[in-house]
Amino acid sequence: MTGKNDDATVNIAVVGATGLVGSAVLEHLSDSEIPTGQVYALASDNSEAEFVDFSKRSLSVHPVSEFDFKQVQLCFFCVPAEVAAEYLPAATKAGCYCIDFSTCSRLDDKVPLIVSGVNEKDLQELDGRIVASPDSSIVHLAQILAPLKELGVIERVNATMMRAVSEMGRKGIDELSQQSIALFNLKPIKHEHFLAQIAFNVLPHVCHAQANNQLIDDLQSELAKVMHDAALLLNTSLISAPVFYGHSMMLQLEFSQDVDVARVTHLLATDSDLHCTNKQINRPDSVSDAVNQKGVYLGCVRQDTTWQNGINLWAVADNIHQGAAINGVQIGEILVKSYL
C-alpha cells in the first residue's frame, strides 16, 4: 500500500472533470469501493472557477496545466488524446497510476487495454502505470463476446454500430440540440462537427468516405487486443444516430462451427454484465432503455437463416457509463486493491 495515505485513502485526480466521461467517472467514484481521499477536478484553463458535482458536494475545477500530480495516487484521463499525451508523462513520472479513456495509449503494446469482466487478468502484466479503456462500442462488444467463447471460435463479427452524438463529447450534444431547436423554429441548420444535418437524420460516419480507414482498423485492433484473438475479424459500419446518449448495434456473429441459438441465449442471459431476457419478445430494448443503466441490453437473438454458423442479435448500452466510466472505475478498484 505504498502509494496510499496513512489512513489508507487514495487521492484521485479526474482530468476532464467538466466533460461527459469525467462527470460520469465522478458519479461512479462516489459509489465505488475505492476509499477516496482528496478528489481533484481538473480541466482546461477555460473552466477555472467552475464547479462539478461529487458525492453530494461541489468541487472547484482547477487547470490541469498548473496541477502537481505528486498530490495523487490515481488519475482518470477523460480528455482528448492530444491532451492525454501532453499530461500522462508528468502523471506517471510523479508515480501516479493513470486510467486513460482516450485513443492515446489503447494500442500501445506496453499498455494493457482492459474491459472489466473480460480481460482484467491482463493487469497482472502491468509494467508501467498507464491502463487504457477501449472505445465504448468495443467495451460493449467484448462483454457480449466473452461468454460466447466457450461455444468455440468466433471467426468474424459483422457490426452495424449506431452511435449517439455524445460519442463526440459535449460538442456533439450541443450540435444536436442547436439543430433541433433551429428546425422547430424554422431557422437554417448549421453543421460543424457532423458531415451534415444530424437532427432527425441518420449519417454514415465520416471515416467511411476516406480511403484509409484508420478508425475502423483501430476498432478491429482494440477488439483483438482485449479478446486475445488476433484472428478475430471485425467488419464494422459506423452510423451517427440522432440520439443524445446510448449506442446500438445490430450484430451478426460467425462461428467456426454450427451454433445452437438456445445455447447462445442461455449463455448471454446468465452473464452478469448482460441483460438478455424473454421480456423482450414483444418489444426489444430500445436505446433509451439502456441510457444511464449498467450493463448491455440484448435482444432479437436469432439464427442467421442464410448461414448455419451465424447468429444475429441486437444490443444497446450507454456509451458514457457502461462504455467508459463504469469500466474505468472498475479498473481503478482493481488497481487500488492490488497495486497501490
Ligand X SMILES: NC(=O)c1ccc[n+]([C@@H]2O[C@H](COP(=O)([O-])OP(=O)(O)OC[C@H]3O[C@@H](n4cnc5c(N)ncnc54)[C@H](OP(=O)(O)O)[C@@H]3O)[C@@H](O)[C@H]2O)c1
Going by their DSSP bridges, the two strands 97-100 and 130-132 should be labelled as parallel
Using the rule CB under 6 A, give the single segment among 13-21, 118-126, 279-287, 301-309 that binds ligand X: 13-21
Q: What b/e sequence results for 188-220 when a residue is b if at least 16 CB atoms lie within 10 Å of its CB, and e otherwise?
A: ebeeeebeebbbebebebebeeeeebebbebbb
The nearer residue to ligand X, 167 or 273, going by C-beta atoms, is 167
Beta strands (DSSP E) in the chain are 10-15, 36-43, 51-54, 57-63, 74-77, 97-100, 130-132, 154-163, 203-204, 233-240, 247-255, 274-275, 296-303, 310-317
CB-CB contact of 128 with 92 (8 Å): yes
- How far apart are the C-alpha atoms of 210 and 221, rounded to whole Å? 18
CB of residue 14 to ligand X, shortest distance in Å: 9
CA–CA gap between residue 177 and residue 173 (Å, rounded)? 6
Residue whose CB is less far from ligand X, 20 or 253: 20
Decide: is 11 part of the binding site for ligand X (CB under 6 A). no
Q: Is 332 one of the binding residues for ligand X (CB under 6 A)?
A: no
The residue from 11, 73, 116, 166 that contacts ligand X (CB under 6 A) is 166
16 in contact with ligand X (CB under 6 A): yes
CB atoms under 10 Å from CB of 173, counted, come to 16
Cα-Cα-Cα-Cα dihedral sign, residues 181, 183, 186, 192:
positive
State which amino acid sits at residue 216: I
And the C-alpha cell for 258?
A: 454450427
81 part of the interface to ligand X, by CB under 6 A: yes
Q: Which residue minimizes CB distance to ligand X?
A: 19
| Interface with ligand X, residue 169, by CB under 6 A | yes
Whichever of 19 and 112 has its CB closer to ligand X, that residue is 19
Q: Tell me the site size for ligand X, rule CB under 6 A.
A: 28
Q: Segment near ligand X (CB under 6 A), from 11-19, 190-198, 222-230, 271-279?
A: 11-19
330 binds ligand X (CB under 6 A): no
Q: Is 79 in the site for ligand X (CB under 6 A)?
A: yes
Q: Which residues contact 334 (CB under 8 A, 6 or more apart)?
A: 116, 120, 123
Region from 30-38, 77-85, 223-231, 331-339 binding ligand X, contact rule CB under 6 A: 77-85
Closer by beta carbon to ligand X, 20 or else 199: 20
Tell me the window of 27-35, 41-49, 183-191, 309-317 that interacts with ligand X (CB under 6 A). Answer: 41-49
- Candidate list 54, 69, 76, 101; residue touching ligand X; CB under 6 A: 101
Query: Minimum Å distance from CB 86 to ligand X?
Result: 7
For residue 232, the tally of other CB atoms under 10 A from its CB is 17
Residue placing its CB nearer to ligand X in the complex, 17 or 111? 17
N-term to C-term CA, the chain: 5
Q: Are 40 and 71 in contact (CB under 8 A)?
A: yes
Provide, rounded to whole angstroms, the least separation between the CB of residue 219 and ligand X: 12
Interface residue list for ligand X (CB under 6 A): 16-22, 43-44, 46-47, 64, 78-81, 83, 101-102, 136, 166-167, 169-170, 319-320, 323-324
